[in-house]
Structures are given as C-alpha cells and as structure tokens.
Structure 1
Amino acid sequence: MVFSSLTFLFQFLPVVLLVYYISPKRLRNAVLLAASLVFYAWGEPLYILLMLFSTVFDYINGLLVDRFRQRKPAARAVLLISLAGNLGILGFFKYAGFIIEALDRMLQLNLQPPDLPLPVGLSFYTFQTMSYVIDVYRGQVKPQRNLIAFAAYVTMFPQLVAGPIVKYGDIARQLASRSVTLNRFGKGAELFIRGLAKKVLLANNLGLLWTSVKAAPAEELSVLGAWLGIAAFTLQIYFDFSGYSDMARGLGRMLGFHIRINFNYPYISRSVTEFWRRWHISLGSWFREYVYIPLGGNRKGIGKQLFNLLIVWLLTGLWHGASWNFIFWGLFFGLLVTLENLFLLKWLKRLPRPASHLYLLVAVVTGWVLFEFQQPDAAWTFLGCLSGWAANGWADNQALYDLSAYGSVLILSVLCATPLPRKWVLRFTFKRRLTGGVAVPVLYLAALILSTAYLVAQTYNPFLYFRF
C-alpha cells in the first residue's frame, strides 16, 4: 500500500485516524503499532516477520547494552552483535545476489544467485534500529523498556517504507506523551495534501515523459528529446520522493509526531556539497553521524578526510541498491564533493550565482543519468545524446511534440522546485488575512480533488524509492 492510492486515502487512513483519536492516550502506541503492521502486511505479509524480528532483536540489544554499561567489553560485544545482525540481514536480502553474480563473473563458478524480493523499507527501518542501539551505547538516549512503544517507533507507517530516517532520540519524548491539536492536525493535512499533489499531479506526469524517452532507441533520440527526458526524470525523482516525505511528515503531525524535514529545495543549490545538505537530509545526517565522524571526519588531516568522504559516498551509492550504476553514482558525487573540499568551493563562491547554479545542475543531471541506467554503456550513450555527439540531430518531430505536450508541466515543476510558490501563498495570506484565510484552504481542497481525480482516471502511479 502506498499513500498515493485510493485504498489508503479513503479506506485505511480514515479508519486508522478514527480509531486512533477515540482511543485513550495510553493505548495510542498500540493502535499505531497495529495500524502499521496492517499497512505493512498489506503488501508484504511474509516479510512482516523479518521486521518484527529486527524490532525485538534491537529492543533486547538496547536493554543489554544499558545493563552492561559499567562493563564496557560486554556492552561493546552486544553492540557488535547488533551491528552484525542488522548488516547481515541487510546484506543477505539486498546484496547477496549482487555479490554472487560478481564472483561468478570473475571466477566462473556457475553460482546461482538467490531470487529474493527486497523487503519494502528494509534499508530505512534497519538504519533506525541500528542507530538506536548505537545511541544507547553512546549514552545519548535511554533504552526504551516498553516493547509496544519501541515497536511503534520502528514500524510507524508514515515513515516505514520510504523514510525519512527517524532517529529514536528525536521522538523518544513524543512516544511517551503527545497531543493532537486542531491546528496541528490542519498543518499536517496541508503538508500531506501538498506532498500528494507533488507526487500525483507532477511526478506521475513527468514520469510518463521520461518513460517514453527512456524506452526510445538511443540512435533515434535528438538532443532536445534527450534533454526533455532527463529534465523530466530530474524533476520526477524530486517530486516523487520529496512528495512522499511531505506526506509522511504530514501524517506524523496528524498523529502527534514531529518528523524533521527531509528535502529543502535542493535544486536551488550552487554546489554539490550544498545540494546534499538539502537532498534526503535524514540519510546524509545518518551517514555523517554514524560513519563519517566515527571514521575520523575532518579531524585527522585532509588526506584522511577525503578518504572518509569517498567511503561515505561509496556506501551512499550501495545503500540505494546492489548495482554498479549506484556505485558509480555514489563515487561520482563523492569525487565532486572531494574536489569541492579541496578547491572547487572557493572558485564557486567567486562565480556569479547563475554560473555556479549551472554547474550544479549539470552535475546533478549527469548523476541522475548514472543513477537511472543500470548498464554503463547505456548511460554513456545517453550522455552522448545530451552533448550532441551521439544524438540524431538537434530536434525531431517527437521531441517537438513532447515539448508541446509536456512544456507546461515542466515549467510548473521547475517553479514548484523553488521556494517561490510557498512564499507567494504566505505573502498573500499575510497581506489579505480575510481572503487568504478562505483562499488557502480552498486551494488545498482543490489540490486534493484534482489528485483524487487523477488517481481514479490513471493507472500510472509508480514510486521510485519504494524498494530502496
């Protein structure tokens, strides 16, 4: 089940909210846990056992780490068991096939990789439970002794399948006590509708264009057609993932939780370093806190710092999937971040804003080509179409048709990828309090109706990060 589905919007969510609000506060964690298990079992009935195992496994590990706090070797041993268990599960389901295929190519062993579907949300909830045990070991949080509360944290359906990655310490107090006011519910509903509109009205339509361009033979693509396609994907993946994150945060508010922002207009950045401070913020924060800093961060000289950055970016690529294209994608951005740390950031700061922004967009578009094409030769050929040397002319009839058919949604999407629309709404509301107080709710209601109508009429409704 995904948020952008009629089943979720008009069956699951209303029932869950009704039961949640009429339940006594002391039972709301149990209601949230039950709802989350139903949500997950809807599409993954078997792998719910794996998620429950991870939950109980690290619940016990957290208690043991705290119990052995005065005996550091024992506490460290429990921590290592937790890390080994979590990484073992993640490695088996996500990377076993990739490793076996690589070994088979090198050694010709005729190995058969396991044909196992990746459990939905595995990367997200595994990172959450690992960070919980690490934080207990560091003394940054107290262990959660209520299994229901801990399970509600791990399985919380708003952020279960696609994040954001929520640290236990950020919502520990909210698990113990939270309230839902009418104002908080309203803000949550606005955030959810905004995310839904991003996903359904923008990302889905952009995805139609990219699907068409990607399916076309490379030798038939013109420069204009290739650029229209990759522009569509660049915007699609942003609105798809940030829209889902907004829906998750909105649902969290409606349930009384504050979940931190995960995207902060990344395409307005002027450097790759800034871009990754604005894109998938929870993942970047996780790697910085639990990998980069423990490796030494920038405290042991520039050489060690650059090595640590490359390790982090290699792992960032692997986190997204067991495929060489994700490794190349991660190392590509790791190389750019390394160069920016060495000297490029100083140059970029001296450039006019349009020039540094153009550099960022070219880097990001190149990265998305590496990200999307699993075969390196296909990625290289598409980059050739973008640059012109492998393209079938500068423009063709198909590209001109796509431009006329999708031009308006591309322009609207570019605009919505900036803070301008939100600023206009806030300014209008502030200047015209009476009119704005009516117009803004009407605007959100219209967005909800349009999104619903699209879901009823269309069958194309993918979610790009569903199995990361």
Structure 2
Amino acid sequence: MVFTAPIFLMFFLPVFIIFYIVAPNVRIKNITTLAFSIFFFAWGEPVFIGYVLVGTAIDYLAIKVGCAPERPTSQRRRALVLAVTINVAALLYFKYANFFMAETTPLLAQAGWSLGEWRKIALPLGISFITFHKISFVVDLYKGRAPPPRNFLDALLYIFLFPQLIAGPIVRYHDIGDQIIDRSSSADDVLAGFQRFAMGLVKKVLIADQVAVMVQSVAQTPSADLPWEYAWLGALAYTVQIYFDFSGYSDMAIGMARMMGFRFPENFNRPYTATSVTDFWRRWHMTLSRWMHEYLYVPLGGNRASLARTFANLWIVFLLSGFWHGAAWTFVAWGAFHGFFLSLEKAAAHFPWKPSIPAQARQAATFLIVLNGWVLFRADSLSQAMSLWARMYGLGPAPATPQQPFWLMFEPQGLVCLVVGLVLGLAPSRRHPALPPALLAHPAVRLTTGGLLLTAGLAGAFSGNYSPFLYFRF
C-alpha cells in the first residue's frame, strides 16, 4: 500500500484518522496506530511480518536485558554488538545475497566450482530504512540518549510507525522516543499536517509522475539513437523526478505524523540551491546524512584525525551510502562519485588562496555535478551510464536514425512539469515572503490551501498516470 494509492487515500487514511481521534488517551492512540501500521505493512509484505516482529523482539531484549544499567560494561557492549550484528547481517542477506551470488557464480564456474542452483531471495519492502531505525533504537538506548520504551508495544510502534516505515524520513529513536510516551496534537497541528500532506501529494502526482514518463521514454531509447538534447532532457527530467518524488513522500510522512502529534525531522531543504556538494548533502535526504554522520562517520573518527584519515572516512561513508541505496555497482560508483567531490572540496578548504566565485556560478556547477551523478544513480549498468554521458556531451557518432524534435517527442504536460520543477527546485527561497507568516499559518488559510492542494492531488492520483515511489526500491 502506497500513500498515493486510492485505497490509502480514500479508505485507510480516513478510517485511521477517525479511530485515532476518538481514542481517549496516548496509550490507546499508540495501540490504534500500531494496529493500523502492522496492517499497512502486511498489505504489501505479509510474509515478512514475522521477520520485523522477531527482529524487534531481539532488539528489545538486547536493550532491556543485555544492556540493563546494572550489568557490567563488557556485557552491555557485547549485547549491543550482537544486536547490531544481527541487524546488519539480516540486511546483507536480504538485500545483497542475490548480488553477491550473481557476481561470484561466474567466477566460481570458471574455476570449476559450483554452488548449485540459487533461488533468488525476496526483498522486504523498506528493509534499508527498517534496519537503520532498528540500529538507531539499540544504539540510542545503549548510550542513554532517550528514555527506554515502557514495553514491547512502544518498541514495535517506533519500528512499524507507518508514515516512516517504507521510505523514511530516517527518524532516530532519540528524535521521537519521548513522543511515543507522551504527545499531544492541537488543531493547528492537524491543519498544518493536513496542508503538508496535501503539498507532498501534489509534488508526487503532478510533477514527479508527469516527468517520469519522459525519463522512461529516454531510458527505453537505445543510446545509438539518442540525440544529445534527448539525453539532457532525460537527465534533467530524472533530476526533477527524484527530488519531487522523494521530497513529496517525506512531506506526506511528516504531515501525517504532525496530525498525530509526532514531530519528524525535516528531510529536504531546497537541495538544488546548494552552492557546493558539501552543501548539497546538508540539504538532500538530511536524515540519512545525519544518521551516517552520527552512527558511522563519527565512530570512524570523523575529521578529528589527519586529513588523509578524514578523506578515508568520507569515502567509506559514501561508498557504504551508495551501496545502501541498492545492490549494484552503479550505486557504489555513485557513492564514490560524491565521495570524490566531497574530498576535493575538503582539500580545497586547506588551500592558502581561494578564488572568489559568485554564488550563482557555484550553484550552477553544483547542480551540474549532482545531475551527472543522477545519471549514474538511474542507470541499469555502468555501461549504460557511460553511454548516456557520451550522448550528453556529444561523444561518438551522431544517431543514425533521425528523431522528432523533443517538443513533439514528449507530451506537453511533461515538458511543462519539467520546467515548473526546475524553476521551483532552482529558485532561491525568499527571505521576505509576500504574505506575512502569521497569515500563512492562519487556520482558514491552512484549511483552504490544504483543501485545494488535496483536490488537485486526488485528481492527479486518479488520472492513471502513476509510478511507484522511487525510494521503495531501496
């Protein structure tokens, strides 16, 4: 079940809100939310309910028993390491076993060895996000960063909480541990959450899904028949699609959580206005960046050691970040791509002379780097990425088969949405909005704008031009 599916918009969410509102206290609201969240997950992945339940039970026991304060430090540390190891091992098995076998089987065959027939392992929906939440749960409680759950149901609610279950934001346990125990939801929270949810729905169905048709059209065209302008349009369209698709999902998740009284951390902050790759990663998928920084980069030593060690830590983090996104060499290369530019920027910060470059030029250069990175991220193989780059930059022979002009090749609404997405994504935020913040936050304004956005979003959702959320793959 996805947030843009008719059954979610017209049945699941309204029924959940009714039951949630009539629940008399936080305890009953938590039980209601947990029941609906398990149903939400079971709708698409019933066979993996047991995996998440058992895995969460192991984490809970590791914290409540193995990491109890009265136990010796060595025992507490062993319990933590065991829980983290189990979670990482499960992620490696479900997400990377097929990749490992596909890469090693031909090599073993050349050496005369055989592992027999391999049956592909099904990938649980949202396994990467679930694993990161589970690791945050055990590490945060081990370090005393948040109050421990009162019972096993509280622990289950953190893992199964349906707004962030499948594709984030990555909500660390210490972000909402106290909110699970006690929270409130005012009328302003409900209206603000409703408005945010509707905005995310519009981003997804009226921009991301419209330009997705262009992306698919370019991806299905053989590279030899792809003119340079088509290649650039495909790259630009995917750059718009992935931002409005993922930020739209995050807006919907944050909005639903706000209606329930939860305050999720922000996940995007106008990333295409970044003036460096470092700045981009402070703005793009911010909860992943914070998770990687807190649970991986800092334990590795961060930037507290030598410059060479800092570079090594950056590369480790971004190679793993790329591999976390998917079991393919393209994702590893994408992580290395960003690790290279981050290291370059960090090295440049130590240069004694720094040229003065206008902010607009730095933004344009950063956007171009990020766009080329998305080519690698979207490609099915490294060779396909290289071929698309070659077409973008006019390398190799011209297409043998003439193509129609792009304004005839692509549907008009896709081109319009591409332009709108680029304008919205690249335009700097206004420091002094035309309307005062108090007016924008007025209940009547929130209700009206939310209603208009929801109506437009529902119209788009029921139009039939639907594509799954991109981050469901990860």
Work out whether 1:399 is the aligned partner of 2:406.
Answer: yes
Report what 1:417 is aligned to.
425
Work out whether 1:304 is the aligned partner of 2:344.
Answer: no
In structure 1, stretches of 5+ residues that fail to align are: none
Which SS does the other structure have where 2:46 is aligned? Answer: coil
Whether contact under 8 Å (1:266, 1:278) holds in the other structure is: yes
The offset of 1:404, in angstroms, is 7.3
Change in Cα spacing, 1:435 to 1:34, as seen in structure 2 (3 Å) is closer
Which SS does the other structure have where 1:191 is aligned? Answer: helix
Change in Cα spacing, 1:434 to 1:352, as seen in structure 2 (3 Å) is closer
Tell me the amino acid that sits aligned with residue 8 of structure 1. F
Work out whether 1:254 is the aligned partner of 2:262.
Answer: no
Which SS does the other structure have where 2:198 is aligned? Answer: helix
Whether contact under 8 Å (2:199, 2:248) holds in the other structure is: yes
Mapping of residues 136-155 of structure 1, within 5 Å: 136-155=141-160
Work out whether 1:9 is the aligned partner of 2:16.
Answer: no
Mapping of residues 25-104 of structure 1, within 5 Å: 25=25, 26-67=27-68, 69-104=70-105
TM-score by length of 2: 0.93
The offset of 1:436, in angstroms, is 8.5
* RMSD between aligned residues: 2.4
Tell me the amino acid that sits aligned with residue 269 of structure 1. A
How many residues were matched structurally?
466
Which SS does the other structure have where 2:171 is aligned? Answer: coil
The offset of 1:114, in angstroms, is 3.5
> How far, CA to CA, are the matches of 2:427 and 2:44 in structure 1?
35
Change in Cα spacing, 1:47 to 1:434, as seen in structure 2 (3 Å) is closer
Whether contact under 8 Å (2:191, 2:443) holds in the other structure is: no
The offset of 1:64, in angstroms, is 2.3
Tell me the amino acid that sits aligned with residue 188 of structure 1. G
Report what 1:466 is aligned to.
472
> How far, CA to CA, are the matches of 2:442 and 2:21 in structure 1?
29
> How far, CA to CA, are the matches of 1:73 and 1:375 in structure 2?
45
Change in Cα spacing, 1:443 to 1:266, as seen in structure 2 (3 Å) is same
Greater Cα shift, 121-130 or 256-265: 121-130
> How far, CA to CA, are the matches of 1:435 and 1:152 in structure 2?
30
Whether contact under 8 Å (1:101, 1:113) holds in the other structure is: no
Which SS does the other structure have where 2:473 is aligned? Answer: coil
Mapping of residues 315-330 of structure 1, within 5 Å: 315-330=320-335
Change in Cα spacing, 1:454 to 1:189, as seen in structure 2 (3 Å) is same
**Counterpart among 380, 384, 408 of residue 378 in structure 1:** 384
Report what 1:360 is aligned to.
366
> How far, CA to CA, are the matches of 1:33 and 1:326 in structure 2?
34
Whether contact under 8 Å (1:188, 1:249) holds in the other structure is: yes
> How far, CA to CA, are the matches of 2:164 and 2:440 in structure 1?
35
Change in Cα spacing, 1:50 to 1:383, as seen in structure 2 (3 Å) is same
Which SS does the other structure have where 2:470 is aligned? Answer: coil
Report what 1:451 is aligned to.
457
Tell me the amino acid that sits aligned with residue 23 of structure 1. A
The offset of 1:461, in angstroms, is 2.4
Change in Cα spacing, 1:178 to 1:142, as seen in structure 2 (3 Å) is closer
Report what 2:395 is aligned to.
389
The offset of 1:417, in angstroms, is 1.7
Q: Deviations over 1:142-167 (max 9, x none)?
A: 32231111111110000000001111
Greater Cα shift, 40-49 or 98-107: 98-107
Whether contact under 8 Å (1:68, 1:74) holds in the other structure is: no
Which SS does the other structure have where 1:417 is aligned? Answer: helix
> How far, CA to CA, are the matches of 1:170 and 1:40 in structure 2?
22
Q: Deviations over 1:239-285 (max 9, x none)?
A: 00010001000000011100010011100001111101111111111
Tell me the amino acid that sits aligned with residue 47 of structure 1. F
Tell me the amino acid that sits aligned with residue 384 of structure 1. A
Whether contact under 8 Å (1:195, 1:242) holds in the other structure is: yes
Whether contact under 8 Å (1:222, 1:391) holds in the other structure is: no
The offset of 1:194, in angstroms, is 0.5
Work out whether 1:294 is the aligned partner of 2:299.
Answer: yes
Work out whether 1:218 is the aligned partner of 2:223.
Answer: yes
Q: Deviations over 1:76-99 (max 9, x none)?
A: 110111011101110110011111
> How far, CA to CA, are the matches of 1:437 and 1:66 in structure 2?
46
The offset of 1:444, in angstroms, is 3.1
Change in Cα spacing, 1:423 to 1:414, as seen in structure 2 (3 Å) is farther
Whether contact under 8 Å (1:429, 1:440) holds in the other structure is: no
The offset of 1:321, in angstroms, is 0.7
The offset of 1:207, in angstroms, is 0.3
Tell me the amino acid that sits aligned with residue 203 of structure 1. A
**Counterpart among 281, 284, 295 of residue 279 in structure 1:** 284
> How far, CA to CA, are the matches of 1:345 and 1:204 in structure 2?
43
> How far, CA to CA, are the matches of 1:313 and 1:177 in structure 2?
36
Change in Cα spacing, 1:435 to 1:171, as seen in structure 2 (3 Å) is closer
Q: Deviations over 1:3-35 (max 9, x none)?
A: 011111110001111111111212111111000
**Counterpart among 120, 126, 143 of residue 115 in structure 1:** 120
Change in Cα spacing, 1:354 to 1:127, as seen in structure 2 (3 Å) is same
Q: Deviations over 1:326-355 (max 9, x none)?
A: 011111111111111111697887211222
Greater Cα shift, 17-26 or 68-77: 68-77
Change in Cα spacing, 1:374 to 1:309, as seen in structure 2 (3 Å) is same
**Counterpart among 407, 416, 422 of residue 408 in structure 1:** 416
Whether contact under 8 Å (1:428, 1:436) holds in the other structure is: no
> How far, CA to CA, are the matches of 1:392 and 1:436 in structure 2?
57
The offset of 1:171, in angstroms, is 0.8
> How far, CA to CA, are the matches of 1:348 and 1:417 in structure 2?
28
> How far, CA to CA, are the matches of 1:416 and 1:55 in structure 2?
40
> How far, CA to CA, are the matches of 2:204 and 2:184 in structure 1?
29
Which SS does the other structure have where 1:378 is aligned? Answer: helix
The offset of 1:317, in angstroms, is 0.6
Report what 2:271 is aligned to.
266
Change in Cα spacing, 1:76 to 1:203, as seen in structure 2 (3 Å) is same
Report what 2:181 is aligned to.
176
Which SS does the other structure have where 2:324 is aligned? Answer: helix
In structure 2, stretches of 5+ residues that fail to align are: none
Whether contact under 8 Å (2:207, 2:417) holds in the other structure is: yes
Tell me the amino acid that sits aligned with residue 366 of structure 1. N
> How far, CA to CA, are the matches of 2:370 and 2:302 in structure 1?
25
**Counterpart among 212, 215, 228 of residue 207 in structure 1:** 212
Whether contact under 8 Å (1:429, 1:437) holds in the other structure is: no
